[in-house]
Structure 1
Amino acid sequence: MNPRLTVLAAASGGVFSRRQALTSGYTAGQIAERLADGRWERIRHGQYAERLDLTTMPHWDQQRIRHQLAIHAVLNSRRDGSVVISHQSALALHGMPLWGLDLDRVHVTRSGDRTGGLIAGVQHHLGGLVPADVTTVDGVPVTALPRALVETACTASFEAAVVAADAVLRESGLEDAELRRLLQAIEFWPGSPTARAAMQFASPLSESVGESRLRVLMHQFGLPDPVLQAEFYDADGFVARVDFDFPSDATIVEFDGLLKYGAGSPEVLVREKRREDRLRAIGRQVVRVTWADFNRPDRVAATIGDAFARARRAA
């Protein structure tokens, strides 16, 4: 982009309008050419951005960045300050992971007696926001992180709500009094039982999307509550800090996430093998779960149960 359009786009989260491109010196033909060859992409009607290469990112991070562009495209076409970005759209601007959330529309909350509903791909919510519920992110009015979390949890599955709640607790924490106030505010909203259950289950010790999902999976299959981020030592000193420990069943469960082992370099793999051998030597069974395993949750639960059985036989 030329310098003038670069400045305009930077002020709008990377998004620019057709009119802004024209006033910055591009012709209609040049705009069409850049859209056709992939240098630019259409975010929504009349709103564009330079195409980004997101292929190395986890899927949920790709979704977050694309949803952020959609949000800024909506704002760039309004500029009237009448709405506050809310729900999962607010979580996106706060930089939270958006695994499992519906991102087909931009969510906003507006006060007053105007009609809510879906308008041109934007979901308008009517809600009474108190000053503590509103903040700004890069100059954009958004619901504060605790409010955005409970709003989102009312529209999500239990699993997706826990992923979001774990991330919020991990990044910023959540005061008990504030959580009680927000849960009271949404008491009669559709989905509020899911939100309450997710807030009760959430833990800041879940350190990734995968760990949060695995914790939900184990809970849903009736496994006992694990100890999160337990540390182990042997005669030679520190061995490992593990994702999940079941002390009564002498079993450790680890989530093997994306790029966890440095793209599988031999040195890292050897070091990890030694780590696991030391854990087994102090009497722990070790179960590893990967992203692909989430496609067969019953098999994951059965594998952990088998490890419990082996530990009992070895005791």
Structure 2
Amino acid sequence: MESGYTDSELRRRLRTGQWSRLSRDVYVEAVLYGLPTWGLDLSKVHVTKASGRTRSDKIAELHRSRFESGDIAVVDGLHVVTPARAVVEAACTSSYEVGVVLGDAALREGLISPDLLVATADRHRT
């Protein structure tokens, strides 16, 4: 493979949920910040964009939401939401328990502060 991964490595990463297939020969890392995946459904990639319509298919769940200054970070060359926003969005699309697990882990790892998490949650109540 051009990226240096063998076919068996690629299949293993897809099978374990480490990677998700966006389209033919396009894959994304499932959890970029290294937070726990307890309670999360990793069978779909969740994408948030500022405009357009929402949609869902076998591969992706497309959400629409406004972005505030500082909501976007760059990880390994990818534009992604910040850890605080990721925790809040995961809690909004899954469960309270998932939000607690992710929030606790992000706080413990120093990825977010309590004040930032509360402020982000207040901005994104739904």
TM range (shorter): 0.7 to 0.9
The reply on whether 1:96 has 2:35 as its aligned counterpart is yes
Aligned-pair distance for 1:156? 2.5
**Match of 1:49?**
10
Q: Following the alignment from structure 1 to structure 2, what is the Cα–Cα distance between the partners of residues 170 and 50?
A: 32
SS in 2 for 1:95: coil
* Distance 1:67-1:141 versus aligned 2 partners, 3 A rule: farther
SS in 2 for 1:130: coil
The reply on whether 1:159 has 2:120 as its aligned counterpart is no
**Match of 1:248?**
none
Alignment-mate amino acid for residue 69 of structure 1: W
Alignment-mate amino acid for residue 42 of structure 2: L
Deviations 1:226-281 (A, max 9, x none): xxxxxxxxxxxxxxxxxxxxxxxxxxxxxxxxxxxxxxxxxxxxxxxxxxxxxxxx
SS in 1 for 2:70: helix
TM-score (norm 1): 0.35
The one of 60, 79, 90 aligned to 1:141: 79
SS in 1 for 2:47: strand
* Distance 1:176-1:167 versus aligned 2 partners, 3 A rule: closer
The one of 49, 53, 62 aligned to 1:124: 62
Q: Following the alignment from structure 2 to structure 1, what is the Cα–Cα distance between the partners of residues 17 and 98?
A: 17
Alignment-mate amino acid for residue 106 of structure 1: V
TM-score (norm 2): 0.78
**Match of 2:22?**
74
Identity over aligned pairs, percent: 30
Normalized per residue, the structure richer in helix is 1
Q: Between Structure 1 and Structure 2, how many residues are aligned?
A: 124
Contact 1:135 1:141 in 2 (8 A): yes
Alignment-mate amino acid for residue 19 of structure 2: L
**Match of 1:17?**
none
Alignment-mate amino acid for residue 136 of structure 1: V
Alignment-mate amino acid for residue 100 of structure 1: G
* Distance 1:98-1:126 versus aligned 2 partners, 3 A rule: same
Query: Which 4+ stretches in 1 moved above 4 angstroms?
Result: none
Aligned-pair distance for 1:182? 1.0
**Match of 1:9?**
3
Runs of 5+ in structure 1 lacking a partner? 15-38, 42-47, 53-62, 79-84, 190-315
* Distance 1:69-1:145 versus aligned 2 partners, 3 A rule: same
Higher relative contact order (CA 8 A, sep 6+): 2
Q: Rg bigger for which structure? A: 1
Contact 1:117 1:125 in 2 (8 A): yes
